[in-house]
Amino acid sequence: MWVNANLATMVADEGNSNAYGEIEDAALAVRGDRIAWIGSSADALALAQTQDVGVTDCGGAWLLPGLIDCHTHLVYGGSRVEEFEKRLCGVSYEEIARAGGGIQSTVNATRGATPEALLESATRRAHGLMAEGVTTLEIKSGYGLEVGTERRLLEVARELGRRLPVSVRTTYLGLHALPKEAAADRAGFVGQVSGPWLEALAGAGLIDAVDAFCENIAFSLAETEQFLRAAQRLGLPAHVHAGQLSDMGAAELAARFGALSADHLEYLSAPGATALAAAGTVAVLLPGAYYMLRQTTPPPVPLMRQAGVAMALATDCNPGTSPCTSLLLALNMGCTLFGLTPHEALAGVTRHAAQALGLQADIGTLAIGKRADFALYRIDRPAELCYNLGANPCTGVIYGGVARRFKN
Ligand code: DI6
Ligand code: FE
């Protein structure tokens, strides 16, 4: 029993009078790995008199659902600090990518890395996220671009979920970039990704979903569709990197396949937004990449609001465009750069992030029956999680009902 807390349940309130689902002076009881009861602290203490329960005083902290980072490329080799320097000397992201730098340089470093080294660096990044209250993490492959290395990345991601108190969802980002050895045979590469490689990785139980980078510097609509169709035949849900640098209609394609999410969306038309809303596809906004690339066209948040698109926020943690291991920083940037309200931003790392992973029945809000993943913060009100710039007020993390870190 966790008493003397202020709850932000993040349960949707259409009337918006209590946008965070706030319950002050509240308590929450856990049985096994589930939330069993939510009520007032006074009722909880009375209940505790009659039953044999362990009581923990939260000291007036705010208690939120464990945060969910629903878009990361956490497992990779090497670093791209040199490219960062180049970009600041005036070379654009597209120019670097076309000259064989960018993603390809991380692919080389990743292919050369041992599983132990990949696990070690990914663990450090995961610890950064977890320190802020993240209890669920999506991890994409995509820096192998051949089946052996892609498998290694997915295995490392699964291993991370076994070793750390964090739930990991894996995504096979089969179409991320065309590797240099396939430069003369795009169709052959897309065929392998969509055929034998997908089947082998899915058969090994390594994939929860697939993803493709649909963009003029990456893969076309037709190529993306070929991959999504193959995934659909295997019953795998999809995410799509859509509208990061241009609007090619990737959002509409994602919606047509009933994708869990379409991600980035700096470039999105009104019909695209309508299609996402109708399909229940979540828009995952990634302000870290927008900021690092110094982009100037933010995603059309008012359009998405009007269309009724659910919006999530994530770090996009990757070495090239978002070396970010702070979901709290993404909250702040979602508000300051994209104009999200603090409530929208927080829903974006809880309820809507859960939906972006297809896990809304299990996590993302504080409600009876949901997994007992939650985080405690020393703050005065929920919006403070968006307001702070670089502070970490997280004082406790409870994962599956077990306190992994707690100080009251
Ligand atoms: N969009 C991105 O921002 C990252 N991948 C993607 O599809 C960039 C990945 C990289 O530059 O290493
Ligand atoms: Fe990404």
- The Cα–Cα gap between 405 and 407 comes to 7
Look at ligand 1, atom 10, and give the residue with the nearest C-alpha.
320
Cβ of 221: how many Cβ atoms within 10 Å?
Answer: 13
pLDDT of 407 strictly over 80: no
Rama region for 339: left / alpha / beta (φ>0; ψ in -120 to 50; rest): left
Find the 356 Cα to ligand 2 centroid distance in Å: 14
In the prediction, which pLDDT does 276 show?
98
Count the helix, strand and coil residues of the chain and give each as a percent rounded to the nearest 5.
40, 20, 40
The reply to whether ligand 1 has any atom less than 6 angstroms from the CB of 284 is no
Q: Per-residue pLDDT averaged across 290-300, rounded? A: 95
Provide the token pair at 191.
Answer: 């065929």
- Asked whether the beta carbons of 285 and 311 are under 8 A apart, the reply is yes
Cβ of 362: how many Cβ atoms within 10 Å?
Answer: 15
- The Cα–Cα gap between 129 and 122 comes to 11
The reply to whether ligand 1 has any atom less than 6 angstroms from the CB of 295 is no
189-196, Cβ contacts within 8 angstroms, sequence gap of 24 or more: 190/219, 190/223, 190/226, 190/227, 191/226, 192/147, 193/227, 194/226, 194/227, 194/229, 194/230, 195/230, 196/147
The H or E element that residue 244 is part of is: none
What is the tens place of the pLDDT at every residue in 95-153? 887 776 788 899 999 999 999 999 999 999 999 999 999 999 999 999 999 999 999 99
In the chain, the N- to C-terminal Cα span, in Å, equals: 14
pLDDT of 406 strictly over 90: no
Q: What confidence category does residue 405 fall into, taking pLDDT thresholds of 50, 70 and 90?
A: confident
Handedness of CA 235, 241, 243, 249 (dihedral sign): negative
In the prediction, which pLDDT does 48 show?
87
Q: What confidence category does residue 304 fall into, taking pLDDT thresholds of 50, 70 and 90?
A: very high
Give, as one character, the DSSP assignment of residue 398.
E
In the prediction, which pLDDT does 143 show?
98
Look over the chain and give the mean of its residue pLDDT values, rounded to a whole number: 95
Find the 171 Cα to ligand 1 centroid distance in Å: 14
Higher pLDDT, 84 or 178: 178
- The Cα–Cα gap between 93 and 71 comes to 20
The reply to whether ligand 1 has any atom less than 6 angstroms from the CB of 171 is no
In the prediction, which pLDDT does 290 show?
98
Task: Lowest mean pLDDT of 1-15, 156-170, 204-218, name the range.
Answer: 1-15
pLDDT of 16 strictly over 80: no
Taking the CA of 261 as reference, the closest ligand is 2
- The Cα–Cα gap between 223 and 111 comes to 24
- Asked whether the beta carbons of 356 and 67 are under 8 A apart, the reply is no
> Which atom of ligand 1 sits closest to the CA of residue 322?
3
Q: Per-residue pLDDT averaged across 314-320, rounded? A: 97
Nearest residue to 146 (alpha-carbon basis) of 207, 187, 205, 197:
197
Cβ of 401: how many Cβ atoms within 10 Å?
Answer: 17
Taking the CA of 320 as reference, the closest ligand is 1
Q: What confidence category does residue 14 fall into, taking pLDDT thresholds of 50, 70 and 90?
A: low
pLDDT of 15 strictly over 90: no
Find the 176 Cα to ligand 2 centroid distance in Å: 9
What is the tens place of the pLDDT at every residue in 341-356? 999 999 999 999 999 9
Cite the beta strand spans of 153-264 per DSSP E: 167-175, 209-214, 238-242, 261-264
Rama region for 41: left / alpha / beta (φ>0; ψ in -120 to 50; rest): alpha
- Asked whether the beta carbons of 40 and 24 are under 8 A apart, the reply is no
pLDDT of 313 strictly over 70: yes
Q: What confidence category does residue 246 fall into, taking pLDDT thresholds of 50, 70 and 90?
A: very high
Q: What confidence category does residue 250 fall into, taking pLDDT thresholds of 50, 70 and 90?
A: very high
The reply to whether ligand 1 has any atom less than 6 angstroms from the CB of 213 is yes
In the prediction, which pLDDT does 103 show?
87
The reply to whether ligand 1 has any atom less than 6 angstroms from the CB of 289 is yes
- Could you tell which of 106, 141, 321 is best to mutate to test the pocket of ligand 1, judged by most ligand atoms within 8 Å of the CB? 321
In the prediction, which pLDDT does 281 show?
98
Provide the token pair at 296.
Answer: 């100037």
Q: Per-residue pLDDT averaged across 283-296, rounded? A: 96
Handedness of CA 242, 248, 252, 253 (dihedral sign): negative
Find the 318 Cα to ligand 1 centroid distance in Å: 7
Look at ligand 1, atom 4, and give the residue with the nearest C-alpha.
321
Phi, psi (rounded to 5 degrees) for 137: -140, 130
The reply to whether ligand 1 has any atom less than 6 angstroms from the CB of 136 is no
SS (H, E, C) 89-142: CCCCHHHHHHCCCCHHHHHHHHHCCCHHHHHHHHHHHHHHHHCCCEEEEEEECC
Taking the CA of 315 as reference, the closest ligand is 2
Q: Per-residue pLDDT averaged across 159-188, rounded? A: 97
In the prediction, which pLDDT does 392 show?
96
Q: Which residue has the tokens 């894996």?
A: 170
Nearest residue to 167 (alpha-carbon basis) of 349, 356, 373, 323:
373
pLDDT of 182 strictly over 90: yes
Task: Lowest mean pLDDT of 20-24, 65-69, 99-103, 269-273, name the range.
Answer: 99-103
